Amino acid sequence: MVDWSPETYGPRWKNVYDEVGWPRPDAAVEFLSARRGSGRCLELGIGTGRVAIPLVARGVPLDGLDASPEIVEVMRTKPGGEAIEVTIGDMADFKLERKYSLILLLLNSLYALQTQEDQIRCFESVAAHLEPGGLFVVETFMPDPTRFRFGGRAHVYEVGLDHVRIEADTFDRATQQILENHIEVREDGIKLYPAFLRYTWPSEMDLMARIAGLRLRERWGDWANVPFDASSENHIAVYEKPA
């Protein structure tokens, strides 16, 4: 496999995505609810509804967009997930009939777009769907090239009596790409869960926003409103469409 696509991601991850141990959504839901505005919300890469479902439970009117119908079907099995309107499409280039006061792109989903050009197109599509004064919230991890030696690494993160889980990565500093595969070895075989990423720096993301006609309003190190600084492992940016 060379090319990354939703057809790769959805079928492989749908049965294990919710077992990864993602952070609880409570703080994110509180942060986003406070910035929802008066209109509807749109989550790009809505996935299994980790954040969307509790937002809707808080009374936030929300739509979703995702490239993987398999992942969305997992959300449909959860209480409240069946009622969320979801469009299957490309978050780098989408056209919806509604405008939104808040658009979300969470948990490193921006990095799933494999080129800078696609990431810029995503910002431009978002800007076209925001109401004047609307907000675009992006959550990503901060890149740490020091975790790689000789262009790659392997890390064993779980060992049991009947299984081993390993993460293997390669890193290209020139293209800002991380090719990652989560490997599960069991007596009955081996399963691979790939995740190919193209990371960005905050300054690069700010420039993408400016190209799309958005401006930075807030930057945080986590959902608890901790200031972003050189030690931050996560990056939450809030961009605004001028009124």
Given a cut of 90, whether residue 6 has pLDDT beyond it is no
Give the confidence band of 181 by pLDDT, cuts at 50, 70, 90. Answer: confident
Rg (CA), the chain: 18
Cα distances (angstroms) measured from residue 220 to each of 166, 196, 228: 31, 25, 5
* Residues 76 and 161 both lie in one domain: no
* Residues 206 and 125 both lie in one domain: yes
Percent of the chain with pLDDT over 90: 65
Given a cut of 70, whether residue 107 has pLDDT beyond it is yes
Please state the pTM of the whole predicted model.
0.90
Give the confidence band of 17 by pLDDT, cuts at 50, 70, 90. Answer: low
Give the confidence band of 1 by pLDDT, cuts at 50, 70, 90. Answer: very low
* Residues 132 and 152 both lie in one domain: no
Give the confidence band of 4 by pLDDT, cuts at 50, 70, 90. Answer: low
Residue 181's CATH number: 2.20.25.570
The per-residue pLDDT for range 112-123, each reduced to its tens digit, is 999 999 999 999
* Residues 18 and 79 both lie in one domain: yes
Q: What is the mean pLDDT of residues 76-92?
A: 94
Helix (H, G, I), strand (E, B) or coil at 67: coil
* Residues 16 and 78 both lie in one domain: yes
Given a cut of 60, whether residue 128 has pLDDT beyond it is yes
* Residues 222 and 189 both lie in one domain: no
The domain of 89 spans 6-143+201-240
How many independent structural domains does the chain possess? Answer: 2
* Residues 152 and 132 both lie in one domain: no
The per-residue pLDDT for range 21-77, each reduced to its tens digit, is 677 899 999 999 999 999 999 999 998 999 999 999 999 999 999 999 988 999 999
* Residues 163 and 65 both lie in one domain: no
Residue type (1 letter), 239: Y
* Residues 125 and 180 both lie in one domain: no
More confident residue, 55 or 20: 55
Does residue 1 lie within any of the structural domains? Answer: no
Percent of the chain with pLDDT over 70: 93
Mean predicted lDDT score pLDDT of the chain:
91
Q: Please give the pLDDT value at position 145.
A: 75
Nearest to 199 by CA among 169, 171, 240: 171
Residue 97's CATH number: 3.40.50.150
* Residues 174 and 96 both lie in one domain: no
* Residues 46 and 95 both lie in one domain: yes
Does residue 192 lie within any of the structural domains? Answer: yes
More confident residue, 134 or 144: 134
Does residue 96 lie within any of the structural domains? Answer: yes
What is the C-alpha separation between 166 and 37, in angstroms, rounded? 42
What is the C-alpha separation between 218 and 236, in angstroms, rounded? 8
